[in-house]
Amino acid sequence: MFSIYIKEIRSFLSSLIAYVVMLVFLLAIGLFTWVLPDYNVFDYGYANLDTLFNMAPWLFIFLISAITMRSLSEEKKNGTIEIISTKPISDLAIILGKYFAGLTIVLFTLLPTLIYYITIYQLGAPKGNLDSGAIMGSYIGLFFLSSCFVAVGMFASAISDNQIVSFIVAMFLCFLFYNLFELIADFKLLGTWDSVVANLGINAHYQSISRGVIDSRDLFYFIGFDIIFIAATKTVFGGRKW
């Protein structure tokens, strides 16, 4: 698994698209946080990073779909997956190596945003007047949300050897699991079941962790979600016909 992980990291870092996607994410987050009206920190009038954590999941739908679209589909299209499969490594190890590589790239993308935290910390009146616990919880929430999106992107990449198709499917599924259940619950059509439907979506658990409280139910949800999609990816990947 580690050899696959290293190979994927090197492949990402040698690809122009990886840098372009990461740059687009950081530029968009920077514009929302510091420049655009009604979103930027200065219009809010108090020290927080709410804009970053509210907008990041939506940008991650695009970012992570672009990062993962080539993970398995390109291997199948180029026939290199056959070479990998002849090595003494299981399908699960191949998938996990690529999964953790994708998650690592996302973490690399998030690291520069810590500068925003330092800046907001300095801008607070008095200095340091911000809820660091909630910010830490939001970063943890973003990490788990990213893990879900990477798992979904891996699944989308496994079902097609066309990167564009994988990208579109990944974006659709990420949007569906992030926001659709909450939208359905907002219609208030199911009575007491509305909260149950909302909790099926990623957003409810992301918002819960973002409050700065780590609830075991949220952790079980994210871990279970990842396991389900990794298992689904393994099923699709294992069913390939040479």
Segment 132-160 mean pLDDT: 92
Please name the amino acid found at residue 94.
Answer: I
Residue with the larger pLDDT of the pair 25 and 122: 25
The answer to whether the beta carbons of residues 67 and 21 sit under 8 Å apart is: yes
pLDDT in tens, 155-194: 999 998 888 999 999 999 999 999 988 888 877 777 777 8
pLDDT in tens, 96-114: 999 999 999 999 999 999 9
- 11 has a pLDDT exceeding 90: no
> What is the sign, positive or negative, of the torsion defined by CA atoms of 126, 132, 134, 139?
positive
Q: Report how far residue 69's alpha carbon sits from residue 59's, in angstroms, rounded to the nearest whole number.
A: 15
- 134 has a pLDDT exceeding 90: no
The answer to whether the beta carbons of residues 180 and 167 sit under 8 Å apart is: no
Segment 88-95 mean pLDDT: 85
Q: Report how far residue 184's alpha carbon sits from residue 174's, in angstroms, rounded to the nearest whole number.
A: 16
First to last CA, the chain: 22
Where residue 212 falls (left for φ over 0; alpha for ψ -120 to 50; beta otherwise) is left
Instruction: State the pLDDT at residue 80.
Output: 65
Q: Between the CA of residue 66 and those of 74, 128, 217, what are the distances in Å?
A: 13, 36, 30
What are the domain boundaries of the chain?
A: 2-238
- 242 has a pLDDT exceeding 50: no
b/e per residue 37-67 (b: at least 16 CB within 10 A): eebebeeeeebbbbbbbebbbebbbbbbbbb
Phi–psi pair at 178, nearest 5 degrees: -80, -45
- 147 has a pLDDT exceeding 90: yes
Instruction: State the pLDDT at residue 182.
Output: 86
pLDDT in tens, 17-68: 778 888 889 999 989 888 887 777 777 667 778 888 999 999 999 999 998 9
- 77 has a pLDDT exceeding 70: no
Contacts of residue 21, Cβ cutoff 8 Å, sequence gap at least 6: 62, 63, 66, 67
Instruction: State the pLDDT at residue 84.
Output: 66
